[in-house]
A = this chain, B = another copy of it.
Amino acid sequence: MEKTTKETILDTAEHLFAENGIAGVSLRKLISEAGVNLAAVHYHFGSKDGLVQAVFRRRLEQVNAQRMKSLGELRASFGTTRIPVKDLLQAFLTAPVLLSKSTGGKGRNFFRLIARAHAETNEVVNDELYASLKEVIQEFLGELSRSLPELTPEERAVRLSFVAGAMVQSVLLPLKPKFEKELMLKSLSEENVLDMLVAFCTGGMSYQAEIGSGGKK
């Protein structure tokens, strides 16, 4: 059974968007790589925006459903006990980072795509990102308020955004060839990156400035 034209377009778009960003991919480059006709894009998706939306929606739903599932398992496992920060972050970060594994290892396009979504200016992408992420943010922040009651709600929210930033950078930076060489990041597996990411974010989330040293150095 062959891959349908629609799927071919989606997969090729995902690959090219992840590598070059949305603005960096024209429909003509896309169809040339995919081996389909130009009009097929508009037939199946209505417009380039429609294609963008479809590409991102497919993975974002998957990622955030997985995050909610992992959070549910943690809640069932810990009951009324505080869930450790590390476990929460693991649940938050594993889904996007290891997405390529769970989909049969079609490559690392998926994770890169999710990371792109966070760094994109495109309005369609940001709308999709927000819609799919809204519930996840609420639930994780709610759980973090139990695990880290010593922080203010504002501080928890900001730090969670730092977590997202670190995640994004972990996959976008290796796309920049010169930095990859400079920092020797090329030989990192996704599991390695995930472990380092969870460790870093756990430390960052849990960090408590020593009281009394609030003044000057």
| A residues adjacent to B (C-beta < 8 A) | 20-21, 23-24, 87, 118-119, 121, 126-127, 130, 134, 137, 153-155, 157-170, 172-173, 176, 178-179, 182-185, 188, 193, 196-197, 199-207, 209, 217
If A170-B165, A182-B134 touch, does A200 touch B196 (CB 8 Å cutoff)? Answer: no
Closest to A206 in B: B203
Q: How many copies does the complex hold?
A: 2
Q: Are B209 and A199 in contact (CB under 8 A)?
A: yes
Please, which residues of chain B bring their CB within 8 A of the CB of A200? 159, 162, 204-205, 207
Please give the distance in Å from A12's CB to the nearest CB on chain B.
18
A202-B185 Cα distance, complex, nearest whole Å: 21
Please give the distance in Å from A155's CB to the nearest CB on chain B.
6
Interface centre among A160, A161, A162, A193 (most CB of B within 10 A): A162
Q: Are A24 and B121 in contact (CB under 8 A)?
A: yes
Please, which residues of chain B bring their CB within 8 A of the CB of A202? 204, 207
